[in-house]
Structure 1
Amino acid sequence: MSLKSGKIHEGDCIESMQKMNSGSVDLVFADPPFNIGYEYDQYDDRQDDEKYLDWCRSWIGEVHRVLKPNGTFWLAIGDEYAAELKVASQREIGFTTRSWVIWYYTFGVNCKNKFSRSHAHLFQFVKDETQFTFNADDPAIRVPSARALVYGDKRANPAGRLPDDTWILRPQDFQSDAYGFTPEQDTWFFSRVAGTFKERQGFHGCQMPEQLLGRIIRSSSNEGDLVLDPFTGSGTTLAVAKKLGREFLGCELSTDYVKYATERLKKIENGDPLDGPADPVASAPSTKNGTTLESRVKRSAASNRQKSLLGD
């Protein structure tokens, strides 16, 4: 591989990846521009549909080439092109889809003529559907089961369970078991990195939460593996990779983003804790007139059990 690891390489991601050896990367996480008109400093996010999709096919094709045979590719994308890029990644480029995760967040985009947007799509693609890294037993990616969290059942697996297939609401929306979706699902709840958050870097408007990247990197790579981010942006993927003992490599078009993200990486050491709450649901703070989500869940479950005993 001609590109040096442990740094961010400035320039077009396709040109940068073309300099890399085939089959040299263990994990790729990409959060590309969504083509929705976001104001980047050195990229036009208002492309014609076909031009944008052709560009995506090109860089995803390079991702496929540089990945090892057992490598994994995670793609973050919005509603507008999720379906097209899933189909293209599978049928045209050769990936297999292992998971289609919905990232559900607070601080969503308020809309007037449609339901407010509060999610993005996370696709987990692999090159070989029979051989790929997935660390299902890593306790850092497991979550408490409803049996343990809600009912305090001693039969619950103390190691928790993998996130799986259902929905979750925001803490302020969780009022009763009528809407009683639980956290152990393939709809993941992590708050967006809002302007008031301590982990906010301030130089990039689309910063990903470290804990979300932590779940992906822990599950789909091992210590010492090489993690690539073709759209480094604020540097979160590389920051988390470094904290978790992975090798890392980034590509970034913006001179300023390269500068600021590099400064961010210099302040990080292997083993540093990830920013943000590890369990954003259970750790939701209480308010003056409110309670935590966990206490609401337990209170709701107790109320329902009482109703059942009374025949209500």
Structure 2
Amino acid sequence: MSLITLVNANAEHIPLADNSVQMIATSPPYFGLRDYGVAGQIGLEQTPAQYVARLVTVFRECRRVLREDGLMFVNLGDSYASHGGGAAGKELTYMGEEAKKRMAAKPPPGFKPKDLLGIPWRVAFALQDDGWYLRSDIIWHKPNPMPEPTKDRPTKAHEYVFLLTKSARYFWDAEAVAEKTDRVASAPRMFGASKQEGTMRKDIGNTFVDSGTRNIRSVWTVATQPYSGAHFATWPEKLVEPMVKAGSRPGDLVLDPFAGSGTTLRVAARLGRRAVGLDLSMKYLRENATQRTASVQMEITA
């Protein structure tokens, strides 16, 4: 397999074998925000419940291809019911015709105008109900958030990244993402450094004590990353890096079922992992993801 493989495919039917992927890192299309002009796209459902149900289907398929000790990071932003599910979280500059209709429509059934829909947590709890282990809610704090034309609430400056796992025990390299600190850890080491395993390395009593570092925190401050391409849903490489470092080893297979501009794949390849990216749009794969991953070995298939 090439270092990066791009596949023109539907994320609801992932063309990979069972238990073949070590980690997944992805940012699905947000609810009611964009019309990417591709049949079968996710994000333009009539209601939040329909959107959540489709993502549950996608991530059930992700769980099938994930190894038993694998994990998944899912980035989700929220939406408001002000204009039929109008969005807050990603840029509002470009919208397709269908998304424009949604912005002009009534709020989804069961919601009042100006309601925050709570999409990220609805998805997270639905995945938990479907069998995933919900391990952490990571706050992506944006020091440079998009301006919002609102004066009656705070400007949205964060999104959620959920850490979900297939099993109770899974691979997690705490050392790879440890944060620097002036404080010295004092927890006892149960085993010598040579016997440490990446799996659950942060467990009490199994911690490989290293002065000057601490366990990674759940608020990640990462500025948004400008991108001149046509894809609207780019997330910063610095946000993806700790995911790949903590959730996989060099040579492992990383999957992004919503590859888009290819950020996840680029980071994975740079860190020595193999990567597979899916996208419904062959145009985006050819014009955007391929441009951003041109410096690494790559193949693209339909």
SS of aligned partner of 2:265: helix
Q: CA 1:65–1:269 in structure 2 vs 1: closer, same or farther (change >3 Å)? A: closer
Cα-Cα RMSD = 2.3
Cα distance in 2, alignment partners of residues 38 and 106 from structure 1: 24
What stretches of structure 1 of length at least 5 have no aligned partner?
A: 149-155, 165-185, 195-199, 271-312
More helix by share: 1
One of 24, 31, 44 as aligned partner of 1:28: 24
| 1:142 partner letter | A
Tell me which residue corresponds to 1:108: 145
CA contact (8 A) 1:95 1:126 kept: yes
The answer as to 2:219 corresponding to 1:187 is: yes
* Greater C-alpha Rg: 1
* Residues 277-288 of structure 1: pairs in structure 2 closer than 5 A: none
Distance apart, 1:223 and its partner CA: 0.6
The answer as to 2:127 corresponding to 1:89 is: yes
Cα distance in 2, alignment partners of residues 224 and 201 from structure 1: 30
Distance apart, 1:146 and its partner CA: 5.7
Count how many residue pairs are aligned between Structure 1 and Structure 2. 229
SS of aligned partner of 1:14: coil
Tell me which residue corresponds to 1:127: 166
What's the TM-score once normalised by structure 2's chain length? 0.70
CA contact (8 A) 2:23 2:253 kept: yes
1:62-84 deviations in Å (ceiling 9; x for gaps): 01111011110111112331111
SS of aligned partner of 1:76: strand
Distance apart, 1:26 and its partner CA: 0.5
Cα distance in 2, alignment partners of residues 218 and 201 from structure 1: 27
Tell me which residue corresponds to 2:43: 45
SS of aligned partner of 2:178: coil
One of 262, 268, 271 as aligned partner of 1:241: 268
Distance apart, 1:266 and its partner CA: 2.2
1:191-216 deviations in Å (ceiling 9; x for gaps): 0113xxxxx35232221111111100
Cα distance in 2, alignment partners of residues 23 and 159 from structure 1: 37
One of 217, 226, 241 as aligned partner of 1:214: 241
The answer as to 2:13 corresponding to 1:7 is: no
Cα distance in 2, alignment partners of residues 226 and 157 from structure 1: 29
Tell me which residue corresponds to 1:142: 178
One of 253, 260, 266 as aligned partner of 2:294: 266
The answer as to 2:284 corresponding to 1:257 is: yes
CA contact (8 A) 2:256 2:278 kept: yes
Cα distance in 1, alignment partners of residues 23 and 65 from structure 2: 10
What's the TM-score once normalised by structure 1's chain length? 0.68
Percent of residue pairs identical? 26
SS of aligned partner of 2:70: strand
Distance apart, 1:144 and its partner CA: 2.2
Cα distance in 2, alignment partners of residues 39 and 146 from structure 1: 48
Cα distance in 2, alignment partners of residues 27 and 7 from structure 1: 15
Cα distance in 2, alignment partners of residues 83 and 227 from structure 1: 24
1:222-275 deviations in Å (ceiling 9; x for gaps): 0111000000011000000100010110101112210121232122479xxxxx
